């Protein structure tokens, strides 16, 4: 007989901690286990932690809009203090460039209209007024540096859409610690530096074994293991029942000093620019953070999350030069700084929030790149799903709906099913 809990959550990133928080709020005795030393210490720590409402799908946009309000009232959402203080939501707004590649944002704007999300259409004059350092010519489609046409103008931009309900979280690891403390205040326990070595099962899940020899009995196990999610699914023996699966993808994010005279700390905004294949946000020390929007010309490096190269490649340099097309005064240091980490990515870049073919085993996976902002509602919808299925509901036969309480909208949880067909409306990128 091992230790006994009502639920074990595997992974203490921002979403794993949020699942533990919501399950504990519902009265379950929860153990959250992570192989790393602290909550949010893995890929969450290096998340760009951008908060935004624009998604390629209506359901994706709806859950993001709900999440926005939780971050806006972070202290109220948590309902518990943290001795380290609370993470700060810096609401800068986000400018998304209109391009042929994103359909000039017509679908996105239609989604925003349906959800009542405010936005502003900016023409080139508006962009120049707000961002006078910007070159508003078109350079796309994104190209590799050795392409002879790299940097050549292909016309003038069609403008952009500015979303005021957007920004970023100042410290994503601290945000995870905040959720840990809120979960603990409701009775959850966290155990770090412990890896799961086995998922015990009979007709249903029975618990997990840890690498220190501890056996933990639980009728509910939730896989929120980030880039290791597919390995946990293999331990549970549930992959054969999945139409959508996940893999670990290497990602590089560059931090470049803002040009002289540009107060990007004080005046910077989040940007998403399909024309050059990059997104940006302000970074500490008056730097510009530059991430890739995964254009077709860039190689995707799928890796084993336990054996991969953490060094920058030429991809980091490409991203810096792509932004230099938009900001001509951008100086590119000889030695680049930033972060290299992993995404947990599903086949269509939409997460899996679902049960499995093993009763009692649940998944909140494939979340990297575009789900940090959705952690608060994702935790709540997972608790709703688990409660219903443990009470006997067949979610595969009759997909549940979940009420997003702040925006007052129901979403179909079948949208996140492991058995869904690949969603053609997805961006198939970090945009979601």
Band (408; pLDDT cuts 50, 70, 90): very high
Average pLDDT over residues 167-184: 97
CB-neighbour burial class of residue 195 (10 A; exposed 0-12, middle 13-18, buried 19+): middle
Between CA 384 and CA 404 the distance in angstroms is 11
Contact residues for 391 (Cβ-Cβ < 8 A; gap 6+):
none
Band (411; pLDDT cuts 50, 70, 90): very high
Which pTM does this prediction carry?
A: 0.97
∠ at Cα 60 (316, 18), nearest 5°? 80
**What mean pLDDT, rounded, does the chain reach?**
96
Average pLDDT over residues 236-259: 96
User: What is the chain's Cα-based Rg?
Assistant: 21
Average pLDDT over residues 335-339: 93
∠ at Cα 385 (379, 389), nearest 5°? 145
Share of the chain above pLDDT 70, in %: 100
> Phi/psi at 32 (nearest 5 deg)?
-105, 120
> Phi/psi at 339 (nearest 5 deg)?
-135, 150
Average pLDDT over residues 52-74: 96
Contact residues for 192 (Cβ-Cβ < 8 A; gap 6+):
12, 34, 36, 37, 38, 39, 41
Dihedral over alpha carbons 116, 117, 118, 124 (to 10 degrees)? -120
Q: What is the structure's pLDDT at 387?
A: 98
Q: What is the structure's pLDDT at 429?
A: 84
Band (370; pLDDT cuts 50, 70, 90): confident
Between CA 100 and CA 168 the distance in angstroms is 27
CB 172 within 8 Å of CB 35: no
Contact residues for 85 (Cβ-Cβ < 8 A; gap 6+):
174
∠ at Cα 418 (20, 237), nearest 5°? 80
CB 289 within 8 Å of CB 338: yes
Band (168; pLDDT cuts 50, 70, 90): very high
Between the alpha carbon of residue 416 and those of residues 7, 53, 131, 243, 400, the distances in Å are 21, 18, 37, 11, 11
Band (149; pLDDT cuts 50, 70, 90): very high
Tens of pLDDT, residue by residue over 107-144, are 999 999 999 999 999 999 999 999 999 999 999 999 99
Q: What is the structure's pLDDT at 334?
A: 87
Band (428; pLDDT cuts 50, 70, 90): confident
User: In order of start, what are the domains of the chain with their CATH numbers?
Assistant: 3-85+171-245+348-416 (3.50.50.60), 94-164+247-341 (3.30.9.10)
Average pLDDT over residues 268-273: 96
Identify which of 22, 159, 172 has the alpha carbon closest to the alpha carbon of residue 96.
159
What residue has token string 């400018």? 95
Question: Is a pLDDT exceeding 80 seen at residue 287?
Answer: yes
Average pLDDT over residues 231-247: 97
Q: Produce one character per residue of 360-389: b if its CB has 16 or more CB atoms within 10 Å, e if not.
A: bbbbbbbbbbbbbbbbbbbbbbbbbbbbbb
Question: Is a pLDDT exceeding 70 seen at residue 1?
Answer: no
Q: What is the structure's pLDDT at 82?
A: 98
More confident of the two residues 244 and 430: 244
Identify which of 298, 277, 375, 275 has the alpha carbon closest to the alpha carbon of residue 20.
375
Between CA 324 and CA 177 the distance in angstroms is 36
Tell me the three-class secondary structure of 93-126, residue by residue: CEEEECCCCCHHHHHHHHHHHHHCCCCEEECHHH
Average pLDDT over residues 215-238: 98
Question: Is a pLDDT exceeding 60 seen at residue 202?
Answer: yes
Q: What is the structure's pLDDT at 222?
A: 98
């Amino acid at each position: 007989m091992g230790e006994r809990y009502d639920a074990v959550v595997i992974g203490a990133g921002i979403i794993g901690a949020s699942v533990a928080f919501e399950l504990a709020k519902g009265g379950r005795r929860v153990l959250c286990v992570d192989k790393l030393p602290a909550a949010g210490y893995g890929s969450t720590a290096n998340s760009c932690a951008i908060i935004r409402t624009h998604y390629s799908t209506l359901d994706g946009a709806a859950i993001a809009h709900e999440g926005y309000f939780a971050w806006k009232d972070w202290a109220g959402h948590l309902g518990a203090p943290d001795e380290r203080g609370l993470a700060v939501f810096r609401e800068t707004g986000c400018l998304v460039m209109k391009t042929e590649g994103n359909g000039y944002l017509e679908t996105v704007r239609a989604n925003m209209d349906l959800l009542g999300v405010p936005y502003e259409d900016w023409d080139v004059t508006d962009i120049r007024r707000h961002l006078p350092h910007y070159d508003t010519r078109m350079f796309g489609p994104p190209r590799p540096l050795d392409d002879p046409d790299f940097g050549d103008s292909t016309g003038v931009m069609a403008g952009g859409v500015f979303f005021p309900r957007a920004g970023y979280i100042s410290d994503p690891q601290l945000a995870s610690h905040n959720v840990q403390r809120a979960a603990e205040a409701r009775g959850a326990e966290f155990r770090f530096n412990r890896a799961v070595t086995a998922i015990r099962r009979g007709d249903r899940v029975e618990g997990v074994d840890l690498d220190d020899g501890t056996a933990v009995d639980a009728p509910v196990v939730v896989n929120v293991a980030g880039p290791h999610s597919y390995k946990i699914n293999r331990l549970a023996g549930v992959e054969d029942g999945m139409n959508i699966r996940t893999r670990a993808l290497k990602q590089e994010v560059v931090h470049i000093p803002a040009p002289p005279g540009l107060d990007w700390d004080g005046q910077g905004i989040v940007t998403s620019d399909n024309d050059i294949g990059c997104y940006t946000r302000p970074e500490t020390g008056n730097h510009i953070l530059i991430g890739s929007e995964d254009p077709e010309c860039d190689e995707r490096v799928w890796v084993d999350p336990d054996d991969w190269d953490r060094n920058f490649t030429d991809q980091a340099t490409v991203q810096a030069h792509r932004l230099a097309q938009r900001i001509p005064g951008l100086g590119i240091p000889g030695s680049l700084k930033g972060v290299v980490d992993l995404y947990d990515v599903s086949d269509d870049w939409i997460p899996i929030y679902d049960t499995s073919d093993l009763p009692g085993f649940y998944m909140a996976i494939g979340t990297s790149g575009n789900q940090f902002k959705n952690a608060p509602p994702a935790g709540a919808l997972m608790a709703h799903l688990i409660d219903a299925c443990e009470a006997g509901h067949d979610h595969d036969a009759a997909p549940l709906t979940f009420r997003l309480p702040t925006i007052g909208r129901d979403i179909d949880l079948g949208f996140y099913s492991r058995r869904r067909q690949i969603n053609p409306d997805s961006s198939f990128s970090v945009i979601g």
